[in-house]
Amino acid sequence: MIERSPIFNIVTYAAMTLGLLVVLVPFWIVVVAGSQSLQEVSRVPIVLWPSSHLWENIQAAWLRADLGPKMINSFIVAIGVTAGKIILASISAFAIVFFDFKARMVCFWLIFITLMLPLEVRIVPTYAIAANALLPFQFVLDTLGITGLVQAVTSVRIGLEWNLLNSYTGLILPLVATATGTFLYRQFFMTIPDELIEASKMDGASPVRFFFDVLLPLSRTNMLALATIMFVSSWNQYLWPLLITTDRANYGTVVMQLKALIPTQNGTPDWNVTMAGALIIMLPPLLVVALMQRWFVRGLITRDK
C-alpha cells in the first residue's frame, strides 16, 4: 500500500514513535537506575534522569555476581550452541533437499514437528537423558535381553552411563537441535537451481564437495541471519542452565547470575547495582544484533544474487 498524504504521514510517524517509546522505555529505566546511587534509586517517585554512578555500579555488579568467569561460560555456551545449530541445520537440510530417499518427507515432518515441542515442554525427559546420555542405549540393551545374556555368560552387568550434568556438553547439546534452522536452510536450498547441481556433477564434484564449494558460500547471508537469532536466544537461556548446573561457581552463566543480583528480602535494596548488572549482561547480544543487522535483514528477506 503506497499512500501519500500529510495526515497519513503524521499518523504513521506517530504510530512508529509510540512503538519505539514502548520498546525503549524499559531500556531507559535500566540505564537510568544503573547510573544512580543507592539514595537516588530509592527515591519516590523515581527520577528518570541518569546520574553519575554508572561505573561504580558496574564494578559492584561485576564483583558481586562474579561476572568475569560467568561471561566466559556464557560465551562458550552461546557460541557452541550457535555453531552446533548451524552445522546440524545445514547438514540436515542438505539431506532433506538434495537426496532422494524414501523417508525424506517423514524426516522433514519429524523435524518440523519439534517446533511444537520447545525445551520447556520436554524438560523432564531431557533432564533424564542429560543425567545419563546413554540411557536410551541401556534401554535397548535391556529390552533386547542382551544385558541379561552378557550377565549370564560373563557375570558382568552392563551399565552404561554418561553424565552430562555440570558440563559444557550438557549445557550445549540439548539446545543444538533446531527445527527453525533446518527449515530456513531447506527454504534456501530449494531456491538453488537444478542446473547448478547438474553443472557440479558434470564438473565431477561429489555431493560433499558441492556442499562445501557451492552451497555453503551461497548460503552465507542465511548463515549469518541464523547465527544472530541463535546467539541471542542461547545467550538468554535461563531454565536449562539453571536445571543442569548444580556447580554454579564453575558452570554458571551470566543470565543465571541475574538472580544473584536481585536484592534479598531483608538486604539492602540496591537496585542500581542490579540494573548495572543487567546492562552488562544484555550488552553482548545487543552488540551482536547491532553488528549483524544488515546481514540479518538481508538473510531473511532478499536473495542476493
Partner 1 sequence: MAAISFSGVKKRYQKNDVIHGVDVEIEAGEFVVILGPSGCGKSTLLRMIAGLEEISEGTIAIDGTVVNALEPRERGCAMVFQNYALYPHMSVRQNIGYALKVAGMPKGEREAKVLKVAKSVSLDPYLDRKPGELSGGQRQRVAMARAMVREPKVFLFDEPFSNLDAKLRVAMRAEVRNLHRSLGVTSVFVTHDQTEAMTLADRLIVMNSGFVEQVGKPSEVYHHPASLFVADFIGSPAMNLVRGFFGEDGYFRHGKGGMIGLPGLAKAHLSREVSIGFRPELVRRVDAGHKGAIAAVVDYTEELGASRLVYARADGSPIIAVDGGNDPLATGMPVHFALSESDIHVFDHSNGRRVDHDGRPVRATTSVSA
Residue 5 backbone dihedrals phi, psi, to 5 degrees: -140, 150
Q: Which is nearer to partner 1, 60 or 197 (CB)?
A: 197
Least CB distance to partner 1 at residue 84 (A): 25
Least CB distance to partner 1 at residue 108 (A): 22
Q: Which is nearer to partner 1, 3 or 304 (CB)?
A: 304
Least CB distance to partner 1 at residue 200 (A): 8
Least CB distance to partner 1 at residue 100 (A): 12
Q: Which is nearer to partner 1, 30 or 205 (CB)?
A: 205
Least CB distance to partner 1 at residue 30 (A): 42
Q: Tell me the H-state helices in the chain.
A: 6-34, 38-42, 54-64, 67-98, 104-113, 123-131, 135-143, 146-154, 168-176, 179-189, 194-202, 207-210, 216-218, 220-235, 239-244, 248-251, 254-261, 271-301
Q: Which is nearer to partner 1, 65 or 215 (CB)?
A: 215
The C-alpha cell that represents 155 in the structure block: 557375570
Least CB distance to partner 1 at residue 202 (A): 5
Q: Which is nearer to partner 1, 198 or 247 (CB)?
A: 198
How far apart CA 299 and CA 221 sit, in angstroms, is: 5
* Long-range contacts from 108-115, C-beta under 8 angstroms, 24+ separation: 108/186, 111/179, 111/182, 111/183, 112/179, 112/182, 112/183, 113/179, 114/177, 114/179, 115/179, 115/180, 115/183
Q: Are 162 and 130 in contact (CB under 8 A)?
A: no
Least CB distance to partner 1 at residue 206 (A): 8
Least CB distance to partner 1 at residue 220 (A): 8
DSSP for 85-117? HHHHHHHHHHHHHH---TTHHHHHHHHHHGGG-
Q: Which is nearer to partner 1, 204 or 267 (CB)?
A: 204
Q: Which is nearer to partner 1, 217 or 267 (CB)?
A: 217
Instruction: Give SS3 for 183.
Output: helix
Q: Which is nearer to partner 1, 119 or 205 (CB)?
A: 205
How far apart CA 27 and CA 20 sit, in angstroms, is: 11
Residues contributing to the site for partner 1 (CB under 8 A): 193, 195-196, 198-205, 209, 213-214, 217-218, 305
Q: Output Rg (C-alpha) for the chain, integer angstroms.
A: 25
